[in-house]
Homo-oligomer: A and B are copies of this chain.
Amino acid sequence: MSEPWALKSKDSSESHGPYISAIYRHMQVLISAELAPHRIGSGQYMFLMAIAQQEPLTQKALSEKLLVDKTTTAKAIAKLEAEGYVRREADPADQRFQLLYLTEAGREVVPQVQEALNRVRTKTAAGIDEAEYAMFIRLLKTVLGNLTGL
């Protein structure tokens, strides 16, 4: 990778940056439309699903799991709480922690959100076979690892 010709070759090829950017923005629009009936925005669904997968969680744990700033997590949780999908409960052992649980409404909406996300994935991954998709995920993981220091 430090050889001049290798760098030159990469210099002349297209970059993934613009594609990542465009895909992110268009997926956000798509997911917003899918989840609008449930009053869940594109900035909240990942927190809802993460809590559903591993309940209960603190905001700090959520931030680390999803690789987002803790203030982004705080705002997303505040919205999910206002919509009645998530409930906070102070940890009796340590009042600094607020454990996050799904409410009944939250438990009811999670499968519908999952279906919406599956629809988006099926639509966006059309024309990619399973082997290619596995490779795609692996490459995305590599890039993300390079960005976060693994």
Contacts and interface: CB of A to CB of B under 8 A. Distances in A.
Instruction: Tell me what chain A mostly uses at the interface: helix, strand, loop, or mixed.
Output: helix
A11 B147 contact: no
Counted per complex, copies of this chain come to 2
Nearest to A69: B25
Size category of the A interface is 35 or more
Interface string A26-65: 1100110000000000000010000000000000000000
A82 interface: no
Contacts of A6: 130
Given A23-B144, A67-B26, A122 B18 contact: no
A93 interface: no
Interface of A: 1, 6-7, 9-11, 13-27, 30-31, 46, 66-68, 117-118, 120-128, 130, 132-137, 139-144, 146-148
